Copies of this chain bind each other. A is one copy, B any other.
Amino acid sequence: MATIYEVSKLAGVSLATVSRVMNNSSRVSPKTRQKVLAAMQKLDYHPNTIAQSLASKRSNSVGVLVSELHGPIFGSLVSGIEEELTRAGKFSIFAVGHSDGEKEKDGINFLISRNCDALIFHLEASSDEFLLAQKNSALPFVIVNRLVSGLEENCISLNNVKGGIEATRFLLKQGHRDIAYISGPLHWGDAGQRLAGHKTALAEFGIPFDPNIMVEGDYLVQSGYVAMKQLFGRKAKFTAVICANDEMAVGAMDAIREQGLSMPEDISLVGFDNVRWAPFLSPKLTTVNNPVNEMGRMAARWVLKNVYGINDRPIQTFFEPEIVVRESAGARV
């Protein structure tokens, strides 16, 4: 790889001048600019971003810490972030937290050590206190998919409570009164909020929450299956089920079919997230929209605006989910 020295030599100018035409930092006469450009071309010169970042103390790259790199949720989160950042000429550096407190900290340290200009967090294991403490750190950061009080301006989040309300209200309006609920891990914020929404909607209709038709799952397919089996085992009466995410809804579907029941005739099912394959299921899954890709984009724009001063697109920090009606849930018969 050619270096800036060789370019400056070939162009017959100084180091600084080459640097200037690269960064458009200050005026350079068209003539010398041409010479430099020609030399760069000739040498197939590509600046060493590592050196740039060491010298300039900024890297044009933003660190992104997510729980996983795969899966419908993280995948679309990550690509939303990446696209928006790339569009603005910034780079993304990813680290994976695996929903583990230690790994999340390791990831943050890794990103910091890479001279990132800012950080985007999707943290599950780290506490609010930890996040609040980061507030005083040098690096600006934004949190996706979580609303930490005291850090409102740094959060891009979804109204999970409303999501829970929407799902339940929909079923209520369809005439259902006995609605089972399979929640996510309740020690995570969003799972608790979605459940709270469910209870709120129930209360609106004067229906008491019945713990006997509620099971706590772990957001994975298998757990939806198991939870559904448990529900059937309890011999409790219910005509509809809400799953706190689509993954579990898929597992629940299997259990429902095994039971010889069909949807939505015998039982109505509603999911949450509206993952890409929700409309491919049979019956097509009625679910609550979770605009993760958009939230990812917004997190990226937040950084673009607050760190790089690029503010050419609107930023929305709070999202209201809506129910997406398809086939898996219908009127109570």
**Cα distance, A181 to B53, chains bound together (Å):** 52
Copies of this chain held together in the complex? 2
User: Nearest chain-B residue to A93 (Cβ)?
Assistant: B93
What distance in Å separates the Cβ of A182 from its nearest Cβ neighbour in chain B?
16
Binds B, one of A28-36, A43-51, A184-192, A201-209: A43-51
The total of chain A residues at the interface (CB under 8 A) is 44
A82 to chain B minimum Cβ distance, whole angstroms, is: 6
For A59, the chain B residues whose CB sits under 8 A away are 50
Establish whether residues A75 and B69, one from each chain, have CB atoms under 8 Å apart when the complex forms. Answer: yes
Residue of B nearest to A249 (CB): B280
A6 at the B interface (CB under 8 A)? no
Q: Mark A23-67, 1 if CB is under 8 A from B, else 0.
A: 000000000000000000000001111110110000100000000
Q: Are A78 and B70 in contact (CB under 8 A)?
A: yes
**Chain B residues whose CB sits within 8 angstroms of the CB of A50 once the complex forms:** 50, 53-54, 59, 113-115
A92 on interface, CB distance cutoff 8 Å: yes
Q: Which residue of B lies closest to A81 (CB)?
A: B69
Q: Is A180 an interface residue (CB 8 A)?
A: no
Digitize A65-83: 1 where CB-to-B-CB distance is under 8 Å, 0 elsewhere.
Answer: 0001111101110110011
Which residues does chain B contribute within 8 Å of A259, judged by CB atoms?
Answer: none
Q: Which of A47, A59, A70 has the most CB of B within 10 A?
A: A70
Q: How far is it, in angstroms, between the C-alpha of A284 and the C-alpha of B195 when the chains are bound?
A: 31
User: Of B78, B93, B221, which contacts A69 at CB under 8 A?
Assistant: B78
Q: Which residues of B contact A68 (CB under 8 A)?
A: 79
Q: A112 contacts which chain B residues (CB < 8 A)?
A: 1, 46
> Which residue of chain B has its CB nearest to the CB of A55?
B54
Chain B residues near A91 (CB, 8 Å)?
A: 110
* A325 located at the interface, meaning its Cβ lies under 8 Å from any Cβ of chain B in the complex: no
Interface residues in A231-258 by Cβ distance below 8 A to B read 250, 253-254, 257
- A71 and B79 alpha carbons, distance in the complex (Å): 10
| B70, B254, B281: the one within 8 Å of A75 (CB) | B70
Query: Residue-by-residue, is A197-233 near B (CB-CB < 8 Å gives 1, otherwise 0)?
Result: 0000000000000000000000001000000000000
A302 at the interface (CB under 8 A from B): no
- Cα A72 to Cα B47 in complex, Å, equals 35
- For residue A60, give the distance in angstroms from its CB to the closest CB of chain B: 11
Query: Shortest 3 CB-CB distances between A and B: which pairs?
Result: A70-B75, A282-B282, A70-B79
- Interfacial residues, chain A to chain B (CB-CB below 8 A): 1, 46-51, 53-54, 59, 68-72, 74-76, 78-79, 82-83, 86, 91-94, 96, 109-110, 112-115, 138, 221, 250, 253-254, 257, 277, 280-282
A277-B277, A277-B280, A280-B281 known; 5 other A-B pairs, CB under 8 Å?
Answer: A1-B112, A46-B112, A48-B54, A82-B94, A93-B93
